[in-house]
């Protein structure tokens, strides 16, 4: 009887143990499913796009018409333009006291008229051989000399009124009214910024890629302005030994006056353009022991997205973008943010679908 009771109790505890074991296994299985790794990411579709291979350098703005105006004759300053004055070509920049010059002009005119009259009187005498040919030639030489002195006096009188050689703005004035000036003394600086030149040096390795006509974008972001599009007007074929660069020049219209002399700007010069290339952000790349890779998003049969690491071959790069030559097919979805927390085969939750235009 006792043995029967013991067998019943033993069987009861055995059944109870099996029930607890089954429940425990089910709980562990549910916990395993619920603990599957899921990473938040942002993605981008690797759609074909045009890629510009760009060389970035800095350039300095220079006014094409920038002249230091000097006096061409001596005299006392009667009037002179001031800094900031807007001047048109042909306007009077400076006037000098011309009384001494006019006096010299009158004397030169009188000498010329006298020499001309003497020559006219001796011409028939020389024709009739009354005077020698030598005497006649001396009279003609005196007339020519007097005419040269007259022309010089007229030029000096004209130089007392200095005209602007081009339209521009007075940026500096070196003399004041009442001062005496002499020939060659700088008196004004006239600058025209309606057209400007941008000079830059490009590394020598690009000398066969950049030439006259290459497209260039001029960046003015540091001055709160948008970019300006232009072309390279001049590209040197000579390397500067000190900097190992070759000079280029860009000429643009500056009617709004955005660019000022000595301003530093950013130049983005296009070397080449690839059509329908697979372009991705550089930050999306993952470097590992075999090279560069990208995380590609694939969905399972239930539509759940997973990330898989795929090796890629990279090509040209410019700024924040890089070309993928092999490893990614056009239209595939790649991870662009959150890849540093990913492992191969991790489940992901896509928070945002980004666009290539966000990466300049």
3-state secondary structure 55-73: EEEEEEEEEEEEEEEECCC
Contact 195, 252 (CB under 8 A): yes
pLDDT 10s digits, 266-311: 999 998 888 889 999 999 999 887 889 999 999 998 889 999 999 9
Helices 99-127 and 133-159 pack at an angle, to 10 degrees, of: 160
pLDDT 10s digits, 192-237: 999 999 999 999 999 998 999 999 999 886 676 778 899 999 999 9
Query: In terms of DSSP bridges, do strands 305-311 and 161-163 run parallel, antiparallel, or are they unpaired?
Result: unpaired
Contact 195, 254 (CB under 8 A): yes
- Report pLDDT for 222: 64
User: Which of 6 and 185 is assigned the larger pLDDT?
Assistant: 185
- Report pLDDT for 146: 86
Candidates 57, 87, 53; CA nearest to 69 is 87
pLDDT 10s digits, 74-89: 889 999 999 999 999 9
pLDDT 10s digits, 234-265: 999 999 999 999 999 999 998 888 888 999 99
pTM of the complete model: 0.66
Contact 43, 297 (CB under 8 A): yes
Task: Give the CATH fold of the 55-63+193-273 domain.
Answer: Elongation Factor Tu (Ef-tu); domain 3 (2.40.30)
Could you say which of 2.60.40.10, 2.40.420.20, 3.30.70.380, 3.40.640.10 is the CATH number of the domain covering 38-52+275-358?
2.40.420.20
Domain with CATH 2.40.420.20 in the chain: 38-52+275-358
pLDDT 10s digits, 147-176: 898 888 888 888 888 999 999 999 999 999
Domain with CATH 2.40.30.170 in the chain: 55-63+193-273
Mean pLDDT score across all residues of the chain: 85
Residue 141 φ then ψ, to 5°: -65, -40
Q: Which two tokens stand for residue 189?
A: 């600086």
Contact 360, 319 (CB under 8 A): yes
pLDDT 10s digits, 109-141: 888 888 888 888 888 877 777 778 888 788 888
CATH of domain 69-188: 2.40.50.100
- Confidence class of residue 12 from pLDDT cuts 50, 70 and 90? very low
């Amino acid at each position: 009887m006792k043995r029967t009771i013991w067998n019943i109790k033993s069987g009861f505890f055995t059944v109870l143990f099996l029930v607890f074991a089954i429940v425990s296994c089910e709980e562990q299985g549910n916990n395993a499913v619920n603990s599957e790794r899921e990473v938040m990411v942002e993605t981008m579709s690797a759609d074909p796009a045009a890629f510009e291979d760009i060389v970035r350098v800095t350039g300095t703005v220079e006014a094409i018409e920038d002249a230091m105006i000097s006096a061409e004759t001596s005299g006392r300053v009667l009037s002179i333009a001031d800094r900031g004055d807007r001047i048109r070509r042909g306007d009077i920049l400076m006037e000098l006291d011309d009384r001494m010059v006019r006096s010299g002009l009158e004397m030169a005119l009188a000498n010329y008229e006298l020499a001309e009259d003497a020559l006219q009187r001796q011409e028939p005498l020389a024709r009739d051989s009354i005077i020698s040919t030598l005497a006649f030639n001396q009279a003609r030489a005196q007339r020519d000399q007097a005419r040269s002195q007259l022309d010089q006096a007229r030029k000096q009188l004209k130089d007392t009124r200095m005209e602007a050689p081009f339209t521009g703005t007075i940026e500096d004035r070196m003399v004041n009214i009442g001062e005496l000036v002499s020939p060659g003394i700088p008196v004004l600086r006239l600058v025209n910024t309606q057209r400007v030149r941008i000079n830059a040096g490009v590394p020598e390795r690009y000398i066969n890629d950049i030439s006259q006509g290459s497209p260039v974008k001029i960046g003015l972001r540091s001055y709160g302005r948008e970019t300006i599009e232009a072309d390279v007007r001049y590209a040197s074929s000579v390397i500067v030994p000190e900097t190992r660069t070759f000079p280029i020049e860009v000429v643009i219209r500056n009617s709004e006056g955005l660019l000022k002399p000595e301003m530093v700007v950013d130049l983005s010069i296009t070397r080449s353009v690839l059509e329908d290339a697979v372009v991705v952000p550089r930050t999306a790349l993952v470097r590992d022991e075999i090279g560069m890779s990208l995380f590609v998003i694939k969905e399972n049969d239930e539509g759940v997205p997973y990330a898989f690491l795929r090796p890629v071959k990279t090509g040209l790069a410019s700024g924040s973008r890089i070309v993928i030559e092999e490893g990614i097919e056009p239209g595939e979805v790649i991870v662009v943010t959150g890849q540093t927390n990913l492992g191969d085969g991790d489940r992901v939750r896509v928070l945002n679908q980004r666009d290539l235009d966000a990466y300049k």
